[in-house]
A and B are shown apart, each in its own frame.
Chain A
Amino acid sequence: MYTHNGQDIFVVDGHMHLWDASPENQRPPHGKNWIDCFYAYHSGLSPADEKWPYEKFCQYGEAALVNDLFVKGYVDVGILNSTYLYEFYKNGFNSHQQNNALKAKYPDRFILNGSFDPRAEEAGLEAFRHMVEQYPIAGLKLYTAEWRQGSKGWRLNDPWAYRYFELCQELGITNIHVHKGPTVYPLNRDAFDVHDVDYAATDFPALNFIVEHVGLPRLDDFCWIATQERNVYAGLAVAMPFIHPRPRYFAEIMANLLFWIGPDKILFGSDYAIWTPKWLIEKFMAFELPDDIRQEYGVDLSLETKRKILGENAARLYGIDPAVHREKLRRDAIGVHLAAATADQAGAEAFPVASVQEHA
């Protein structure tokens, strides 16, 4: 919860992780390459005093996450976008099975997202159904650029993907987060290409497609698609940290998104632990579009728009009523801890994860 002039602002972190990239879990060589790449993102765009030591970045654990999101970071609800990467990490990077431990412990603080790979065809459909029965899966995170047994990635408009989307509709899974990013191996085509989102969004109007990282580095292509398709949304993870080293570009990115797709289809995301929500949210709340950009684009990053981006848009997609949910959060272990810290006026201390485990 962020409080602005006495007004509560509901915050949903639309994209966060609890990963294990410890050397013990890495498979050589890509396990290390992958986390090194993330660490370069982290150090390249974080303010100096928000940079973590490399060892902590590889494995930070539950206590750090709870503090960084809920105690210090203003977040009310975090969306666990599960990432598997079994070829790089022995037990996975942050699978839905691993993430479910957090979801089970703090049920109102997290939204658990699963995944599918259409290349598993018929057998995968059963596994998918099973996952949804077994876990409280609310949405999906899809990685179209992943290699699998000689296949060089897949497209959202592949016939088998459509079979899975049909199953999503049947099972009531409506929010599909799509990651576009580089492959491990080379392709002649562009692995960041977002055009397949267009087909899937047209053919499945009841599903919502949240394009993570606003299609960066293909922001232009993303904007054309999101403008045409009512059910395509912008996830701000990776765009957010521009606010620190390159605020002018951040302003232009926001102005473009507001110009093309409007304030109701943009979702905040920190991509924790690549970046931490505290500084992102503080800077975002203090941020104003420069006058020339505001005039040129005819848009404004008003308080109302910030409220939508920080939480209301995601809450709407996931069927959360912020007022009702806030009451639930006040009563859970983290909420009680926060209330006690506020009453002490001592500021929030670190949340004692271990004691909760004993009670649980």
Chain B
Amino acid sequence: MPKEAQSLLPSDVPDRAVILERLQRVLDPELDEPVLQLGFIESLHVHEGHATVAIHMPTSWCAVNFVYMMAEDIRHALLAVESIHAVTIRVGDHFAAPAIETGVNAGTPFAEAFAAEGGGNLTTLRETFLRKGFTSRQERVLRDLKDAGLTAADICALRIGDLSFVGDACLAHCAGRQPVEVGPADTARRYLQRRGDLGLDGSPTGPLITDLQDQPLTVERLEEHWTRARTVRLSLEANGAFCRAVLAARQTSSHELSFLGQTKRCQR
């Protein structure tokens, strides 16, 4: 749990750990990163079972469809907590903030909330990015396996049950050899989690590395598969880096502006 998430809620809030854990699962679908880590959650207050969450985006121009998805996901994540019976989302400085807030807080689907502006269903868009996220997560696993010295043949032979977790580390058990440490447990766990989200085989005997159709990769296909996967991973990561840089700049300049505003008031 990141530090910023811990500091969001006072320690005496009921179900605090559950709230933060649920929130931790909410992702920016486009970046495949938790909104908590991205710093999109500005504040979170819970009072007598009513949670109020203020989110802020890197720019007031960020694509409404993605903002809507995140706001909806945060609301659903918190409503699933037993002690919370109401959630209000605030969107901060965004050109469509009032419409997003009204829609999300009333539980209105995007298609209805933005019917006049050509809303439509977000399912396909969400699916596209879940799949990109799968590829990106898998690329990190592949990179860890290669860096640990596994050959293409070793990698293609691995089954999900050949991975084990010891503390923060992930171990790979190749047939007839000592287990090898293959990077952080979190990287592999995130990949396996997404396999589950997409309904791909997660049983211990299932192949570890498959394509999106759940077909295991052959040694011949692995290299090409990986060169494509790393471009997907970079696309998501670089986009995330851009959003973080812009959000940080926005926070700095809004602090400067509020400081300047105070100075002006003092002069008057």
Tell me whether B238 and A43 are in contact (CB under 8 A). Answer: no
**Interface assignment of A359: CB less than 8 Å from any CB of chain B:** no
List the 3 shortest-distance A-B pairs measured between CB atoms, nearest first.
A188-B120, A44-B249, A186-B64
Tell me whether A152 and B95 are in contact (CB under 8 A). Answer: no
CA distance A253 to B237 in the complex (A): 11
User: Which chain A residues (48-65) contact chain B, with CB distance < 8 Å?
Assistant: 54
A-B contact count (CB 8 A): 126
- Residue among A29, A185, A186, A192 with the highest chain B CB neighbour number at 10 A: A186
**Interface assignment of A284: CB less than 8 Å from any CB of chain B:** no
Tell me whether B231 and A44 are in contact (CB under 8 A). Answer: no
**Interface assignment of A223: CB less than 8 Å from any CB of chain B:** yes
CA distance A220 to B238 in the complex (A): 11
**Interface assignment of B108: CB less than 8 Å from any CB of chain A:** no
Tell me whether B238 and A189 are in contact (CB under 8 A). Answer: no
Tell me whether B65 and A186 are in contact (CB under 8 A). Answer: yes
Measuring CB to CB, which residues of chain B are less than 8 angstroms from any residue of chain A?
Answer: 30, 58-65, 68, 95-96, 110-111, 114, 117-122, 124-125, 128, 132, 227-228, 230-232, 234-239, 241-242, 245-250, 252-253
- Residue among B60, B114, B122 with the highest chain A CB neighbour number at 10 A: B60
Tell me whether B111 and A188 are in contact (CB under 8 A). Answer: yes
Tell me whether B118 and A186 are in contact (CB under 8 A). Answer: yes
Tell me whether B95 and A29 are in contact (CB under 8 A). Answer: yes
Measuring CB to CB, which residues of chain A are less than 8 angstroms from any residue of chain B?
Answer: 29-30, 33-34, 36-37, 39-41, 43-45, 54, 152, 182-192, 216-220, 223-224, 238, 242, 245-246, 249, 252-253, 256, 259-260
One of A34, A219, A245 near B234 (C-beta < 8 A) = A219
List B contacts of A252 (CB < 8 A).
234, 238
Tell me whether A217 and B64 are in contact (CB under 8 A). Answer: no
Select from chain B the residue with minimum beta-carbon distance to A255.
B234
List B contacts of A186 (CB < 8 A).
63-65, 68, 96, 110, 114, 117-119
- Given A186-B117, A245-B245, A217 and B237 contact (CB-CB distance below 8 Å): no
Tell me whether A33 and B238 are in contact (CB under 8 A). Answer: no
Tell me whether A188 and B235 are in contact (CB under 8 A). Answer: no
Question: Chain B's interface: helix, strand, loop or mixed, by majority?
Answer: helix
List B contacts of A238 (CB < 8 A).
242
Cβ of A91 to closest chain B Cβ, rounded Å: 21
Select from chain B the residue with minimum beta-carbon distance to A217.
B239
CA distance A39 to B227 in the complex (A): 35
- Given A45-B245, A217-B242, A220-B231, A187 and B59 contact (CB-CB distance below 8 Å): no
Question: Chain A's interface: helix, strand, loop or mixed, by majority?
Answer: helix
CA distance A33 to B120 in the complex (A): 25
Tell me whether A219 and B128 are in contact (CB under 8 A). Answer: no
- Given A190-B125, A190-B128, A219-B231, A36 and B59 contact (CB-CB distance below 8 Å): yes
- Given A188-B120, A217-B30, A259-B227, A249 and B241 contact (CB-CB distance below 8 Å): yes
List B contacts of A220 (CB < 8 A).
132, 228, 231-232, 234-235
Select from chain A the residue with minimum beta-carbon distance to B64.
A186
11 contacts between A and B (CB under 8 A): A33-B60, A152-B117, A188-B120, A188-B121, A188-B122, A220-B231, A245-B245, A246-B238, A246-B245, A249-B237, A259-B227
List A contacts of B246 (CB < 8 A).
40-41, 44-45
List B contacts of A224 (CB < 8 A).
228
Select from chain A the residue with minimum beta-carbon distance to B63.
A182
- Given A187-B118, A188-B111, A245-B245, A182 and B132 contact (CB-CB distance below 8 Å): no
CA distance A184 to B122 in the complex (A): 17
Query: A40-B250, A186-B119 known; 13 other A-B pairs, CB under 8 Å?
Result: A29-B95, A33-B61, A37-B59, A37-B60, A44-B246, A152-B117, A182-B63, A186-B114, A187-B120, A188-B118, A192-B63, A217-B236, A220-B231
Tell me whether A40 and B249 are in contact (CB under 8 A). Answer: yes
- Residue among A184, A217, A238, A260 with the highest chain B CB neighbour number at 10 A: A217
